[in-house]
Amino acid sequence: MGYLCVRMHLSILSCVLFVIIFLLSSRVISQHITDGYTDKISYCQGEPVLVYVNADSSIVGWKLFIRAANNTIVDSLMVNIFPQSITTNEPWKDGYGYTPSFTYQIPLTLHSDVYNIENKIFFIVKNVKRNADITIVYPSNTEAAYNESGGKSLYDFNSTNGLRSSIVSIHRPLSQQSLLQVKILSDGFMNWVTSVKDYNFQVISDQDLDDYSQIEQSKILVVIGHSEYWSRMARLNFDSFVNSGKDAIVLSGNTMWWQVRYSDNRSQLICYKNTLTDPIENALLKTITWSTPSLHFPILTSIGVDWPHGALSNNSAHGYFGYRVLLPNSPLLFNTGLNYHDTLSCKSSEYDGTILLGLNLEGDPIVDIASLGFCKIELIGYDWGQNTMNNSANKGYGTFVVFKKSFSSGKIINTGFSNWCSLTQPPDWTGGFGGIDSSIIKKITKNMFDLLLNTQDVFTSGVNDICEDSKNDCEAISSKQFLITPNPSTRLFEIRSLAFGILELEVYNNIGERVYYFLDPFKSYFIKNIDMFGQPNGIYFARVVTKCGEITFKLFLQQ
């Protein structure tokens, strides 16, 4: 009996040792991957992913694991990996030029999410049917902008010789800078939304937002993390989505700061950050800050807050290291236990703010709704820090707001907060989903989703509703109240408004270039003719603004 026990114990010990050796060997094998990237940022279910892997040695039959945003293993495959070398002269701009290592066929059953290979190679899987209730816009442009792999990023501070590039490639590995400074600002939210399992959501990249069909079936558009770099077409699509009566949630700070464009094959992100050095002739497509007047597209008109009206936080000039609550009875704060002038702890590096009239007797900011031109806005909470224009003598205010631009538009909830979605940020920053009030942050975020999905009010009851009052003068704007003839046309289009005067009219081509513009808010024409002489054949987008909202149409030019 004793002999059998000894043999049994030895057998158990052998099994334990085998498991330990297997785990250690797996860990060693996984460490063979040095870096890598994929041929695109995002893919639909069923699409092939071309993967470029660099390893420190050649291994035949290596088991590779595919992990979701919450690090759960969802798939695996056997591949061959081998060492690679950079083959281009300017890898930050032209990509690394690796040889393809293998192709991964995305299963049709894999749900939309941000996936990774050994936490080094990342890609997004989209919903092939595009029918999710919630579309989450992942800040892939910001990742590319901060990525210094190959020697340069769009920033001087982490580029060779302190000289940034104006063009960066997506065909290169993500650097530690990208992982720590950008991806970490989205990880907390992505882990949470995946685990909640209450929502039908899809994830898309910044580039995907250029295609309106990616979002048109959704009810809510969610912007997360540090969503700093936007193309003109992405902004037009964002505005069209909200102006059509659908809702948006912005869980980001320093949002929509730079205008960007892409190379023809979409493999490069372009941002010169200077009007004079940008070679493009169209002034509206210059890759500069959106707050620059020459772009004619203020950030405030899209998301209600912006960086110039916000605040920088630091220990020498900072208010509450979180939001001071002004509306504890807001539906967004339901069941959080927050009271008037409590602080929602969420230390952030960057705040966006809105236009203020000044401060009340208690020192709290007052929103200037008239200057914003919205029919309704509520300030849920605020924090203060150093003025974003580096004027240490003045305070800047970060604002958490909810608003409607017109009675027919959707609602926008904007936290104006760069760390809302993060778990943490080195060296000492604590994000919303990882801080001491993380449970409250998650509850508020869930309230946002639940209220909007169930078409419940997100505003405080009893507050004067200018949006409702405006119904006396307006009807819900729809395409039925406009006629466009002829369409298709060989040159001239006539847009006739059957219900509202046309205050503003602009036409864009399919890469976001404005080719026609009309503005006369006083005469309020009901008929406008558009002359497309000299423009190439194709699909164009006409944006019509009236006192009751705005709407976008497609124009088909066939000469």
Residue 166's closest CA among 86, 279, 257?
279
Predicted confidence at residue 535, as pLDDT, reads 92
Residue-by-residue pLDDT tens, the chain, 559 positions:
433 333 334 344 444 443 343 334 344 434 689 999 999 999 999 999 999 999 999 999 999 999 999 889 999 999 999 999 999 999 999 999 999 999 999 999 999 999 999 889 999 999 999 999 999 999 999 999 999 999 999 999 999 999 999 999 999 999 987 887 778 889 999 999 998 888 999 999 999 999 999 999 999 999 999 999 999 999 989 988 998 899 999 999 999 999 999 999 999 999 999 999 999 998 889 999 999 998 888 999 999 999 999 988 766 667 888 899 999 999 999 999 999 999 998 877 789 999 999 999 999 999 998 888 888 999 999 999 888 776 656 789 999 999 998 877 899 999 998 889 987 655 555 678 888 899 999 999 999 999 999 999 999 975 556 666 555 556 666 666 788 889 999 999 988 877 677 888 899 998 888 899 887 655 667 788 899 988 999 999 998 888 777 888 899 999 7
- What is 495-508 written as a DSSP string? EEESSS-B-EEEEE
Q: Which residue has the tokens 């849920």?
A: 380
User: Tokens 């929502």 label which residue?
Assistant: 199
Calpha distance 457→187 (Å, rounded): 29
Reading the block at residue 491, the tokens are 């040159």
What is the 3-class SS of 43-101, one letter each residue?
A: EECCCEEEEEEEECCCEEEEEEEEECCCCCEEEEEEEEECCCCCCCCCHHHHCCCCCCC
Separation of alpha carbons 71 and 55, rounded Å: 22
Structural domains in the chain plus CATH codes: 11-117 (2.60.40), 474-557 (2.60.40.3080)
Task: Give whole-number Cα distances, 471 to 66, 402, 408, in Å.
Answer: 52, 20, 9
For 193-221, letters b (16+ CB in 10 Å) and e give bbeeeebebbbbbbbbbbebebbeebbbb
Model pLDDT, residue 429: 53
Handedness of CA 231, 236, 242, 245 (dihedral sign): negative
Q: What pTM was estimated for this model as a whole?
A: 0.84
In angstroms, the CA 424 to CA 442 distance is 15
Structure confidence at residue 193 (pLDDT): 94
User: CA 428, 432, 434, 437: dihedral to nearest 10 degrees?
Assistant: 110
- Among all chains, which residue has been given the structure tokens 């010789």? 161
